[in-house]
């Protein structure tokens, strides 16, 4: 491999590594959706610009020195040795100090703006519970519990109370807010205010086990009318099965092992909370901790063998092939 080829390979690797941090709708720098992410993205841009300027100056100086003072062919003369340069030493000491002081002041302002609660009271209260590896969202004032998708009104002050039932997690919605740890035995709080409607992807940001990368969730911001409609629907009990196939599936779910871990409101008052609330499962767009789109194919594969899709999750049982279609038919009624 010649030098030119090596340079191309090196450049391609650097480009790929750089682009690996770019993430479509999760890119809070170019697509922020709240005051908090606006502040954070502004700070990020400033850091990036200053780092770029320093990089250009330093690397430019190195390249200039390498080219200007390289050894010429048949040149045996010893280069002039410089042991001290007072003005230059002062310059390269003072400039970094000034830059650090500027960044320190800007950082303090950003931290103050991000940490400050909103001016008004909370419009919505949500208790967020971290599980390995999924998120539970409880609306205590509304009597609603759901999973992996938190629906909020746009332009509303949302107060989050963060808890964990197992290990340390971290709640992070890049477009809406910074990271806040979710710690067992400790209650943390944070605020969200989405300044526009949209779907905002979130992720556990603290390594919490084998499926940490698949502990995802979504914040869905909608207008007030749509939020009220969502609340009305979520308060309804699970609908009764209508067809023979649905009733067969309902019996399998309600009288089987499912309700030991899952709650289906109106159908199983004694449902468990080890797994997500299934009362309105099909009102959500994802499942399995936000890891997979909720559709017939994915849910069928999940019912057959959860461990093949998300190894290590607590749902170790599987539904026999002969019962898959009945269980699926019933679950699809939970909207």
Structure tokens at 191: 């605020």
Do 293 and 315 reside in the same domain of the chain?
A: yes
Do 34 and 107 reside in the same domain of the chain?
A: yes
| Interatomic CA distance for residues 156 and 122, integer angstroms | 8
Residue written as token pair 């997690």:
169
Do 223 and 184 reside in the same domain of the chain?
A: yes
What is the pLDDT, as a whole number, of residue 141?
A: 94
- Give me the residues of the chain with pLDDT under 70, please: 1-30, 266-271
6 within a domain of the structure (yes/no): no
Q: Which of 286, 304, 239, 287 is nearest to 265 (CA)?
A: 239
Do 43 and 86 reside in the same domain of the chain?
A: yes
7 within a domain of the structure (yes/no): no
Do 132 and 228 reside in the same domain of the chain?
A: yes
Do 321 and 273 reside in the same domain of the chain?
A: yes
Instruction: Return all residues near 122 (Cβ < 8 A) that are at least 6 apart.
Output: 157, 158, 159, 191
| Interatomic CA distance for residues 89 and 315, integer angstroms | 64
Instruction: Note the Cα 61 to chain centre separation in Å.
Output: 40
Do 34 and 108 reside in the same domain of the chain?
A: yes
DSSP lists the bridge partners of residue 199 as 220
Do 61 and 145 reside in the same domain of the chain?
A: no
Do 128 and 107 reside in the same domain of the chain?
A: no
Burial of 256 (0-12, 13-18, 19+ CB in 10 A): middle
What is the pLDDT, as a whole number, of residue 202?
A: 94
Q: What is the CATH number of the domain that holds 308?
A: 2.60.40.420
What is the pLDDT, as a whole number, of residue 195?
A: 92
Do 250 and 173 reside in the same domain of the chain?
A: no
Do 128 and 229 reside in the same domain of the chain?
A: yes
8 within a domain of the structure (yes/no): no
87 within a domain of the structure (yes/no): yes
208 within a domain of the structure (yes/no): yes
Structure tokens at 106: 């800007």
Structure tokens at 303: 């019912």
2 within a domain of the structure (yes/no): no
What is the pLDDT, as a whole number, of residue 218?
A: 95
135 within a domain of the structure (yes/no): yes
Q: Which of 210, 234, 258 is the last residue of a domain?
A: 234
What is the pLDDT, as a whole number, of residue 296?
A: 92
Domain interval for residue 316: 244-331
pLDDT digits (tens, 9 = 90+) for 187-236: 999 999 999 999 999 999 999 999 999 999 999 999 999 999 999 999 99
Q: Which of 184, 213, 234 is the last residue of a domain?
A: 234
Q: Which of 194, 211, 234 is the last residue of a domain?
A: 234
What is the pLDDT, as a whole number, of residue 267?
A: 55
Do 108 and 135 reside in the same domain of the chain?
A: no
Q: What is the CATH number of the domain that holds 42?
A: 1.10.287.90
188 within a domain of the structure (yes/no): yes
Domain count, the chain: 3
Determine if the pTM surpasses 0.85: no
């Amino acid at each position: 491999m010649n030098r030119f080829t090596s340079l191309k390979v090196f450049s391609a690797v650097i480009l790929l590594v750089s682009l690996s941090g770019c993430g479509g709708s999760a890119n809070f720098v170019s697509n922020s959706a709240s005051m908090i992410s606006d502040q954070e993205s502004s700070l990020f841009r400033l850091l990036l610009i200053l780092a770029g300027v320093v990089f250009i100056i330093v690397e430019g100086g190195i390249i200039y020195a390498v080219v200007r003072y390289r050894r010429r062919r048949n040149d045996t003369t010893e280069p002039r040795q410089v042991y001290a340069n007072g003005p230059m030493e002062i310059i390269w000491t003072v400039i970094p100090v000034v830059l650090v002081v500027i960044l320190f002041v800007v950082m303090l302002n950003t931290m103050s703006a991000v940490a400050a609660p909103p001016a008004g009271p909370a419009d919505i209260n949500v208790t967020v519970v971290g599980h390995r590896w999924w998120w539970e969202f409880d609306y205590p004032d509304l009597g609603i519990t759901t999973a992996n998708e938190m629906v909020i009104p746009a332009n509303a002050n949302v107060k989050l109370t963060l808890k964990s039932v197992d290990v340390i997690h971290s709640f992070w919605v890049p477009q809406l807010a910074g990271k806040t740890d979710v710690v067992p035995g400790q209650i943390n709080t944070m605020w969200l205010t989405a300044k526009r409607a949209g779907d905002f992807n979130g992720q556990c940001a603290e390594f919490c086990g084998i499926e940490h990368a698949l502990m995802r969730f979504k914040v869905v911001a909608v207008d007030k009318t749509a939020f009220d409609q969502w609340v009305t629907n979520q308060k309804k009990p699970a609908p009764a099965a209508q067809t023979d196939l649905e009733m067969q599936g309902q019996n399998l779910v309600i009288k089987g092992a499912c309700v030991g871990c899952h709650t289906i409101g109106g159908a199983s008052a004694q449902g468990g909370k080890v797994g997500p609330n299934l009362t309105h499962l099909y009102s959500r767009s994802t499942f399995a901790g936000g890891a997979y789109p909720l559709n017939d194919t994915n849910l069928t594969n999940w019912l057959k063998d959860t461990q093949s899709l998300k190894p290590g999750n607590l749902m170790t049982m599987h539904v026999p092939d002969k019962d898959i279609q009945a269980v699926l038919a019933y679950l699809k009624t939970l909207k």
